[in-house]
A = this chain, B = another copy of it.
């Protein structure tokens, strides 16, 4: 196994996390088919899921190019991500859409972190993923349209969005304990200071949490929801 010069463990962790997150979202979206209100939305849902699969494939192939076993890189994140999905199973089509939007938003934050830290080729891949804004707009638009039709939904969906992030933070807590290098990397901001590796202290974890929730309020507003 040969690793590229910039394939530091924290970046590989981030790519493994994102790969399994995309694969998990793929299966979760497909599983939500029963919630789709029509054959048309069922088809759209399949399209959203296929986008997750293409992101998974791109990260998977990049990990192989970096000389990393993709399954090994994903392994540490299976339990926390599966737990997140189990604890936040959507009960309606709108909850499924809000989950897609919130999950994509958090993933976007992680992708941006990879773009800051990784080698040029990995950065190009990440920028391709981040450039796909049409999907997020489609999802936010669907939620906004539903809220315009029935404004009473806003309270319940805002609570749902809060639960999604709360459960994500709770899983992130256990990841931070298990993967101090990753927590250190995420808490460091954009400077490439490797002295932070091994940081597992509470300050680093809370900086990681701040980074995780950053942008969440803006994303809720884009869907017409309150924080």
Residues of chain A whose beta carbon lies under 8 Å from any beta carbon of chain B: 23, 26-27, 30-31, 33, 38-40, 42-43, 46-47, 49-50, 53-54, 56-57, 60, 70-71, 74-75, 78
Contacts and interface: CB of A to CB of B under 8 A. Distances in A.
Contacts of A33: 27
A62 B71 CA distance: 38
A47 B53 contact: yes
A202 to B, nearest CB: 32
A33 to B, nearest CB: 5
Contacts of A38: 71
B30 A49 contact: yes
A42 B23 contact: yes
A71 B26 contact: no
Contact of A56 (B23, B46, B57, B75): B46
Contact of A74 (B39, B47, B49, B57): B39
Contacts of A43: 23, 56-57, 60, 70
